[in-house]
C-alpha cells in the first residue's frame, strides 16, 4: 500500500472508530509498528489525529464531527468523573449554563438534587432531562438544531443569551491547545459558546484528556477565561501543569 493510501486508511479507521491502536492496526495494514507510529506522527502534524498512549484519536475538524451517540459511548468512565467533579463546583450558583454535547448530559445528571436552579442550555437532551425536575427551571435557547449534537445555534441563540446574566457556565470544546486556545469546529457553535462566556460571571471548562493538544477551526476562548479546567487523570500531570501556566488551574479527576 502506498504511503498516502495508508494514511487515508488510518484516518478513515480513526474517524469511524474514534481511535486506532498501533498494535492492532499495524498487522492489518501489513506494516511494522514503528512504521505506523511514523504515520501517526505525520497525521498528527497535519492536525487530523492526536497521539495518545498506544495509538491515536481522530481530531474533530471543520470537515469531520462525531455524533452524539458516538460521544456518549466513548471515554464514558472518564467523562462521568469529569462531570461529577464539574457539578460539585456549582457552589451555590442559581443560574447555570450547560453546553451541548455528551459530557454536558452527564453534568446535568450530576446536578440533579443539588438544589433549585435555573438552567440555560442549547442542548435538547439536557433540557428534556432537567425539565422533569421540580426544582429546576429550564430555558432552552432557540435556533437551528444541529443534528450531530442536538444543540441550537445561530443568531436566535446568541441574541437570547445576550439578554441573560448567568452565574456559572459549563463550557465544552473540541480542542484545547496551548498554541491555539479553546476551539470548536463550527463557527455557529463558537458564536454560542462565546456569548455564553461573555454573559457568565463564572466559567468552567471541561473535557476528556483527548481534547488536550487538539485544535479545531474556530477559537472561541483562552484558558485564562475560566476559573478552572476539569479533565481526567488520563492527562499526564506534567501536561496539566503546562496548561495551568496559561491562566486556569487544571483539575485531574
Instruction: State yes or no: pLDDT of 23 exceeds 90.
Output: no
CATH of domain 68-252: 3.40.50.1360
Q: Give yes or no for residue 75 having a pLDDT over 90.
A: no
- Residue 247 makes CB contacts below 8 A (sequence gap 6+) with 222, 223, 224, 225
> pLDDT per residue over 119-165, tens digit each?
999 999 999 999 999 999 999 999 999 988 999 999 999 999 999 99
Give the contacts of 102 (CB within 8 A, at least 6 positions apart).
Answer: 68, 71, 72, 79
Res 251: pLDDT? 98
Q: Name which of 42-46, 100-104, 189-193, 223-227 the model is least confident about.
A: 42-46
Grid coordinates standing for 203?
466559567
Rounded mean pLDDT, 178-197: 96
Radius of gyration of the chain (CA): 19
For the chain, the structural domain boundaries read 3-58, 68-252
Torsion, Cα 207 34 42 239, to 10 degrees, reads: 30
- CATH assignment of 3-58? 1.10.10
**Interior CA angle at 179 toward 173 and 183, to 5°?**
20
Q: What are phi and psi of 218, to 5 degrees?
A: -115, 120
Beta bridge partners of 218: 184
Which grid cell sits at 187? 463557527
Amino acid at each position: 500500500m502506498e504511503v498516502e493510501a495508508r494514511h487515508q486508511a488510518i484516518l478513515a479507521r480513526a474517524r469511524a472508530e474514534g481511535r486506532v491502536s498501533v498494535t492492532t492496526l499495524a498487522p492489518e495494514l501489513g506494516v511494522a509498528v514503528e512504521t505506523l507510529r511514523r504515520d501517526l506522527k505525520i497525521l498528527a502534524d497535519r492536525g487530523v489525529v492526536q497521539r495518545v498512549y498506544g495509538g491515536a484519536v481522530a481530531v474533530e475538524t471543520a470537515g469531520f464531527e462525531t455524533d452524539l451517540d458516538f460521544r456518549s459511548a466513548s471515554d464514558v468512565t472518564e467523562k462521568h468523573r469529569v462531570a461529577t467533579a464539574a457539578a460539585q463546583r456549582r457552589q451555590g450558583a442559581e443560574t447555570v449554563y450547560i453546553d451541548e454535547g455528551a459530557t454536558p448530559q452527564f453534568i446535568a445528571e450530576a446536578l440533579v438534587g443539588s438544589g433549585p436552579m435555573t438552567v440555560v442550555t442549547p442542548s435538547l437532551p439536557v433540557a428534556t432531562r432537567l425539565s422533569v425536575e421540580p426544582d429546576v427551571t429550564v430555558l432552552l435557547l432557540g435556533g437551528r438544531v444541529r443534528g450531530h449534537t442536538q444543540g441550537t445555534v445561530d443568531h436566535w441563540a446568541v441574541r437570547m443569551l445576550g439578554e441573560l446574566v448567568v452565574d456559572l457556565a459549563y463550557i465544552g470544546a473540541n480542542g484545547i491547545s496551548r498554541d491555539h486556545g479553546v476551539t470548536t469546529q463550527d463557527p455557529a457553535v463558537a458564536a454560542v459558546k462565546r456569548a455564553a462566556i461573555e454573559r457568565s460571571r463564572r466559567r468552567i471548562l471541561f473535557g476528556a484528556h483527548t481534547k488536550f493538544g487538539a485544535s479545531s477551526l474556530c477559537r472561541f476562548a483562552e484558558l485564562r477565561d475560566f476559573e478552572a479546567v476539569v479533565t481526567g487523570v488520563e492527562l499526564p500531570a506534567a501536561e496539566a501543569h503546562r496548561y495551568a501556566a496559561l491562566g486556569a488551574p487544571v483539575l485531574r479527576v
